[in-house]
Amino acid sequence: MVTIETELTSITIDPLTPTIGAEISGIDLAVPLSNRQQIEMHQALLDWKVLFFRDQDITTGQQVAFAQHFGELEYFPFTDLVHVHADYPELVMVHHGPDLPGTENTWHHDVTWRLEPSLGSVLRMTDVPATGGDTLFADMAAAYDGLPTDIKEEIDGAVARHDFELFRNVLRFKGASDAEIASYEARYPNPHHPVVRTHPETGQRSLFVNAAWTREIVGIDPARSERLLDLLYQQAKHPEYQCRFRWEPNCIAFWDNRACQHYAVSDYFPNERMGERASIAGDVPYFDPDQPVTRSHGESPVRGAIVGEIAKQAAAYRSAVG
Ligand code: OGA
Ligand code: MN
């Protein structure tokens, strides 16, 4: 059969919130995307930061092919710590259950311990608990935008050190030798990333520190760094910046790791939850002070009570650091 692409071919976008998250329909991910679908999907990812798909009964190979439309896939290097797919070693198996408690239930960007953290990931849930196990995403551009001006001025251009410490701890616990750990450290030395990242495609500024991997803001007093990071980590927690996805069989999430953080709710005991994650290689994060500040599209300048809450958090930080 020959499919003739017409001007009418187009995806349907149903936003979950004004700035972050959209469900995409009118597309079959079992077949390669047309150029037009790829362009539309790419734009939708930039616009909505995370895309969700339902009713996509696709194979692992089709998932890989879908992800490859957006760049080269990266391999997860800590193969002693995670299971990877037997046939597609670039896929990480995200598996939790009664004997394997969740670990993705902290707000985080993925793999910021890499010099080039991933552009994004395509996660297909293969074993979905009847209830629970939702994933939340937070718009870190909106979170940046909601900060008081003096805090923005303090963090624009600041740089933070990231480290895979959590993995180092698990490796030690599992009896890895110093030489093995040193070999990981040599391959993945601590990167310094901008605290505020300019998105390489949209130009938006977003908060690019996370509680899982960021260790300190470099060049400032350690106590100040800790307080400032705490203040910044808290910003992902405001519901006004978030969307929440409820999984069902044959669902896929595709997030822009440069623009959002995510959190997998670990509330489905004693059920199992399993997914397969393909990650697209990213680039070196940077901050461009000359790029004009752009708001998230659809962003409300009126966020009600959280404006006061953020002001209180910032005031507590200022009084703690003097
Ligand atoms: C991940 C992750 C979220 C989820 O795979 O990086 O954080 O919902 N997963 O399992
Ligand atoms: Mn993650």
Question: Which bound ligand lies closest to the C-alpha atom of 105?
Answer: 1
Q: Does any ligand 1 atom lie closer than 6 A to the CB of residue 264? A: yes
Question: Which residue lies with its CA nearest to atom 3 of ligand 1?
Answer: 264
Has residue 283 got a pLDDT over 90?
A: yes
What is the model's pLDDT at position 299? 77
Question: Which bound ligand lies closest to the C-alpha atom of 274?
Answer: 1
Residue 4 maps to a domain: no
Region of poorest pLDDT, from 5-14, 25-34, 255-264, 313-322? 5-14
Has residue 185 got a pLDDT over 70?
A: yes
Q: Does any ligand 1 atom lie closer than 6 A to the CB of residue 104? A: yes
Q: Does any ligand 1 atom lie closer than 6 A to the CB of residue 133? A: no
What is the model's pLDDT at position 204? 96
Has residue 250 got a pLDDT over 60?
A: yes
Residues 6+ apart with CB under 8 A from 131: 268
Q: Which ligand 1 atom sits nearest the alpha carbon of residue 253?
A: 8
Residue 5 maps to a domain: no
Q: Does any ligand 1 atom lie closer than 6 A to the CB of residue 44? A: no
Q: Average the pLDDT over 104-126 and give the result.
A: 98
User: How many domains does one find in the chain?
Assistant: 1
The residue that leads in pLDDT, 273 or 322, is 273
What is the model's pLDDT at position 5? 47
Q: Average the pLDDT over 61-67 and give the result.
A: 98
Q: Does any ligand 1 atom lie closer than 6 A to the CB of residue 110? A: yes
Residue of 110, 145, 163, 256 with catalytic role = 110
Residue 2 maps to a domain: no
What is the model's pLDDT at position 197? 98
Average pLDDT taken over every residue of the chain: 95
Q: Average the pLDDT over 208-217 and give the result.
A: 98
Give the Å distance between the CA of 212 and the centre of ligand 2.
10
What is the model's pLDDT at position 80? 85
Residue 3 maps to a domain: no
Q: Does any ligand 1 atom lie closer than 6 A to the CB of residue 212? A: no
Residue of 199, 258, 262, 273 with catalytic role = 262
Has residue 3 got a pLDDT over 50?
A: no
pLDDT in tens, 22-53: 999 999 999 999 999 999 999 999 999 999 99
Residue 143 maps to a domain: yes
Give the Å distance between the CA of 39 and the centre of ligand 2.
25
What is the model's pLDDT at position 315? 97
Q: Average the pLDDT over 129-139 and give the result.
A: 97
Has residue 7 got a pLDDT over 60?
A: no
Residue of 114, 124, 162, 277 with catalytic role = 277
Residue 100 maps to a domain: yes
Q: Which ligand 1 atom sits nearest the alpha carbon of residue 104?
A: 7
What is the model's pLDDT at position 4? 45
pTM: 0.96
Q: Average the pLDDT over 108-123 and give the result.
A: 98
Q: Domain of 93?
A: 12-321
CATH of the domain at 22: 3.60.130.10
Question: Which residue lies with its CA nearest to atom 2 of ligand 1?
Answer: 104
Q: Which ligand 1 atom sits nearest the alpha carbon of residue 134?
A: 8
**Per-residue confidence at 19, pLDDT binned at 50, 70, 90?**
very high
| Chain mean position to CA 181 | 26
Has residue 2 got a pLDDT over 60?
A: no
What is the model's pLDDT at position 296? 76
Residue 91 maps to a domain: yes
Pocket residue to mutate for ligand 1, from 90, 96, 104, most atoms within 8 A of Cβ: 104
Residue 239 maps to a domain: yes
